[in-house]
Amino acid sequence: MDAQSAHRFNPSERTSSAIFVENLTKWYGPRQALKGLSFSIAPGEVVGLLGPNGSGKTTTLRILTGYLRPSSGTALVGGIDAIEDPAGLRAQIGYVPEDIPLYNNMRVGEFLSFMAQLKGLTAAAAARAVDDVAQRLDVSRVLRVLIGKLSRGYRQRVAVAQALVSDPRVLVMDEPTNGLDPQQIISTRELVRSFAGVKTVLIATHILAEMQKMADRVMILLDGRLLATHVLAEQNDLPRHVRMRVAGSPEQVREALARVDGVRAVQYQADGIDGCASFMVEGERSAESLTARLASAVTSRGFALMELTDVSSDLEEVFLGLLRSRNEASP
């Protein structure tokens, strides 16, 4: 959870990490976009880079893909230095930029073959790679279609396909679900999850819910600094909160709720203007059908349940909490 821990690297981490960043800074004229960013990502990890617009996510990705040179600091991908050998670094990476930049006057197959060969594949190997990646991303049907005529969803798939066509060890994606419909978002999410343990994936986004479903770990970036890292697997240890409004004696309702399996604590909050009592129930995250059992515990005793809302402590709360504490700390 704590960002500072990311700055204390083991000596072996520099070489064993798929991505290693230490004290990275980037200035755009007088404006400093990155202020000493440090983190490392292990091979096979799916990591999210989360932050509001302008927090330095895209700048970080652009440095890691060799597009931008850092002002100072170290950025290594697979042990290759972004400053010393940018071409070698680029050969390791598949990159899906934001806004899906593609050549509209090229056909999908032609474009994928061009990108594969640009990454060093021979023409024959590129043809095989295009077939493989087209099947995997379900773009085989549009291989002969002009990119300019594709829908947003297909364009996104083609953008991911070009990043994967050379079978890179590291995949970097900038806002990969922007503008997609729900079905396409689910497909992208499943695709990214299928890389876990196989490829190292770094995804930048400002959509919190997406991160929870895709990443093993989330790094929260704000104003060019790493604010926190959050291992999503640890969420099972976090409590789950349910807010309830019930018409009835507060003491009796509280007692009924406290008896439900998986409930850690029940906090009586206030009486509403309609004579209903409000409670905040803290339960175990692993407790199954907690909300249904809470509702049943109340109604089976003859109390009227007016409201039940799951306000679980999730990544959004972590993120907003960090933002709040940051704003309070700054003058």
Binding footprint of another protein on the chain (CB under 8 A): 62, 65-68, 87-88, 90-91, 93, 95, 97, 99, 101-106, 114-115, 117-120, 162
Q: Which of 268, 229, 218, 219 is nearest to 248 (CA)?
A: 268
Q: Mark 1-18 as b/e (b = at least 16 C-beta within 10 Å).
A: eebeebeeeeeeeeeebb
Between 151 and 249, CB nearer to another protein = 151
To another protein, the closest distance from the beta carbon of 121 in angstroms equals 10
| Edge-to-edge strand ranges of the sheet holding 93-96 | 93-96, 170-174, 200-205, 46-50, 217-222, 225-231
Between 65 and 205, CB nearer to another protein = 65
To another protein, the closest distance from the beta carbon of 86 in angstroms equals 9
Between 106 and 323, CB nearer to another protein = 106
To another protein, the closest distance from the beta carbon of 35 in angstroms equals 20
Phi-psi region of 179 (alpha: psi -120 to 50; beta: other; left: phi over 0): left
To another protein, the closest distance from the beta carbon of 42 in angstroms equals 23
Say if CB 82 and CB 72 are below 8 A apart: no
How many other CB atoms are found less than 10 A from the CB of residue 218? 24
- In single-letter form, the type of residue at position 298 comes to V
Those residues with Cβ within 8 angstroms of residue 72's Cβ, 6 or more apart along the chain or in another chain: 23, 24, 25
To another protein, the closest distance from the beta carbon of 98 in angstroms equals 8
Q: Mark 251-287 as b/e (b = at least 16 C-beta within 10 Å).
A: eebbebbeebebbeebeeeeeeeeebbbbebebbeeb
Phi-psi region of 72 (alpha: psi -120 to 50; beta: other; left: phi over 0): beta
To another protein, the closest distance from the beta carbon of 68 in angstroms equals 6
Between 169 and 285, CB nearer to another protein = 169
Say if CB 112 and CB 166 are below 8 A apart: no
Hey, which residues does 222 pair with through a beta bridge?
Answer: 225
To another protein, the closest distance from the beta carbon of 63 in angstroms equals 11
Between 106 and 258, CB nearer to another protein = 106
Between 119 and 230, CB nearer to another protein = 119
The burial of 192, by beta-carbon neighbours within 10 Å (0-12 exposed, 13-18 middle, 19 or more buried), is given as buried
To another protein, the closest distance from the beta carbon of 81 in angstroms equals 15
Between 89 and 185, CB nearer to another protein = 89
Between 148 and 197, CB nearer to another protein = 148
- Compute the C-alpha angle 137/143/145, nearest 5°: 125
